[in-house]
Structure formats: structure tokens, C-alpha cells
A = this chain, B = another copy of it.
Amino acid sequence: MPTGRSRRTSPVSSEFGLIQLLQAQVAQPDRQVFQGIGDDTAILKTSPSEWMLITTDLLAEGVHFDPATSSFEDIGYRAAIANLSDIAAMGGTPRFMLVAIAIPPICSTGQIQQLYRGIMQAASPYRVRLVGGDTSASKRGLFLSITLTGTVKPGQALLRSGARVGDRLYVTGTLGDSHAGLDLLRKRPSTGHPVMRPTQARFLLARHHRPSARVAEGLWLVKHGFAGAAIDLSDGLTGDLRHLCEESGVGADIVAASLPLSPACRAYAATHHLDARQIALQGGEDYELLFTVPLSKQSRFERLAARTTFRFTCIGSITPKPFGLRVRTDEGGTQTLPVTSYEHFLRPF
């Protein structure tokens, strides 16, 4: 979860922008704080040889997850990925986790065990250690708060504010799958998805329930010094691109035809008479990375990237701020990206 940011809320369109403003106001300078509120994680200069990243988020039943469509294991898994993804977006190595839960009377110990199992399934590949937490009762609804720390070498973290005019914009993986998976769950909770191939439906559901955190990609970008700026896609491409551009004081052009789409997402869009590119632009919780590569580094980046198993796609470039956020259509025209992104306060689409 971005520190000091609200997932799926637009600072412009909602009252929560005021709260973010307030958070920024009460934040005071400190010699150990390299980056406070305003990026995916805070960066603390805790040691001369290693800086600490720290991020926290709070997930609410009925807002961030729905036990009617997700197992407790999946809820835990996705919650952990949301935090791991924030560390990934800084190019950091995740280290220590604290898990606080407020448990409604309706939840069984077995369900909470499943929740923890999901959290640990997501965290264990990164050798993240659970070092603390809190359990409490909740009168209504399950609430889950995860705090994750990470490490990064001094001065090497990827920031949202590092984008410069002319930089190329890249994303990892494919976009829109998680949203398509969520929509399948909502439309047909129990009857299957007859108009799609079962393997494709399963792929989209897996992308929603079990997204990946792009930790390895973030570390690789830092190792080679390729990325100018980075952010993880939790709010959706449109919303998170806006965050990155605001922090960097730039605009951006996205080439619609270049958006990386999975065959399953294309099939989902086709069978539901939707525009797959719109889903890719606005669907939230992909947890892919969006990052910039300076033009001078692009050819070396492309050459070295080709030797990895990572999937990187160039989707556009950084423009001067007055141009705003635009999409280049197949016909060569441009459209302005809408200000609102996927919000918990609005039903998507």
C-alpha cells in the first residue's frame, strides 16, 4: 500500500485527498527520513550500509475483499502481495512482517488459520519473517492490517518522483487480468463461465486471487540502475500513472495498442462485449510494476531484459506536464485519460 495514499481512492475526486494532505502536513522533517509520505513505502536511513523501507495497509471486509467470493487463504495471500508489491516498487528486499487482525464473532479459528496460511504462502518465497502483530475482536467485519519492512542500499530505492521527460514507460506482466477475474466472480459466483474456455477463466481467477509481487523485477532494475521512477499498479494503470506523474511533475502518453493483454483477458472482453484496453487501463490490483527507463539506457535495458524470464512491455513515454495524461489511439489521435481511477467508493466500470 502506498504510504500516505489511499488505495483505489483518487486524491482529486474524493474527500480522502484532504486526509492525505493532512498526513503530509503533520509529517515533519527528520534527518533519518529519506522519504516519508508520498511514495509506495517510507525510506528510513536506519544504518549507513542499509536503508529501511516500511509500509502498512489496512484491508476491510466488503471494501478490499469479500469472503463470499474469496477463500480466507486467498484473502491473506492477496493482502500480503499488496505489501510485497510496495516493497517491489521501491526495488527493495522484503524482510519483516507484522499482522494485525480484528476478528468478527462469525469467523472461526479455522478461517483465521487459513488467512495466516495464505499470508505465509505469499511471504515465504521471499523469506519474509513474521515478527509480531495483534489480534482483537471486531463487532462487524474482518479487518486486516499488514506492516512490511524491507531493505535497500542507500540511495538506490526507486521513487515515484524520478520520471523525466523523454523517459520510456514500461510495465511488467499483463494488465487487467485481476479485474476481469473479479468481474467473473461477481457475475457468476457458482455457475461457471460457459462462454469462456475453462482454462482461461481459471487463469483470470488465479490472477485475481493469487497475484504476483514483482520483487525479482524490482531488484533487477535496481541492480542495473535502469529505472528512473517506479510504482506498483494497485489502483489501476490510470490511477497509478497519475500518482507517478504528479510526484515527478510530468505528463505521459500511453500507446493503446501496446498495452500487454493476456489471451484470457482478451477472451473475457470479447465474450462480455467490453474493450480489453479499457480494462487494462483502469482495472485495479494487478500488482504489476510501472516504471520509466531513460532513453539513453533503453537499448541496453532491452538487450539485458531479453536474457531474463521477465516480461517487460514499453507502453509509452513521459511528456512535459502541460500535456497531461493521454492515450494514443490506433487512428493516431489522442484521448485524455479520465481523472478518476478505480475506487473502493465507486463500483468499477
Tell me the chain A residues, 96-146 only, with Cβ under 8 Å from chain B.
Answer: 96, 98-103, 109, 112-113, 116, 120, 129-141, 143, 145
A134 to B344, CA, bound (A): 13
Mask of A133-177 contacts with B, CB within 8 angstroms, 1/0? 111111111010101010000000000000000000000000000
A263 to B64, CA, bound (A): 48
Chain B residue with Cβ nearest A82: B134
Taking the closest CB of chain B, its distance from the CB of A63, in whole angstroms, is 5
Contact across chains for A9 and B136 when beta carbons are under 8 A apart: yes
A2 to B98, CA, bound (A): 11
A37 at the interface (CB under 8 A from B): yes
Interface stretch, picked from A46-54, A254-262, A305-313, is A46-54
Contact residue among B9, B26, B103, B131 (Cβ-Cβ distance under 8 Å from A3): B131
Interface stretch, picked from A28-36, A181-189, A317-325, A334-342, is A28-36
A26 to B116, CA, bound (A): 8
Taking the closest CB of chain B, its distance from the CB of A104, in whole angstroms, is 9
A212 at the interface (CB under 8 A from B): no
A18 at the interface (CB under 8 A from B): yes
Most buried by B among A36, A120, A143: A143
Contact residue among B8, B133, B137, B143 (Cβ-Cβ distance under 8 Å from A102): B143
Contact across chains for B100 and A54 when beta carbons are under 8 A apart: no
Q: By the criterion of a CB under 8 Å from any partner CB, how many residues of chain A are at the interface?
A: 74
A208 at the interface (CB under 8 A from B): no
Contact across chains for A28 and B129 when beta carbons are under 8 A apart: yes
Q: A-side interface residues toward B, CB under 8 Å?
A: 1-9, 15-16, 18-20, 22-23, 26-28, 30, 32-33, 36-37, 41-42, 44, 46-47, 50, 52, 54-64, 95-96, 98-103, 109, 112-113, 116, 120, 129-141, 143, 145, 147, 149, 344-345
Other A-B pairs, 15, CB within 8 Å; known A42-B132, A54-B132: A3-B98, A9-B135, A22-B116, A30-B129, A36-B129, A41-B132, A47-B50, A54-B98, A54-B149, A57-B100, A58-B58, A58-B100, A58-B136, A100-B145, A143-B143
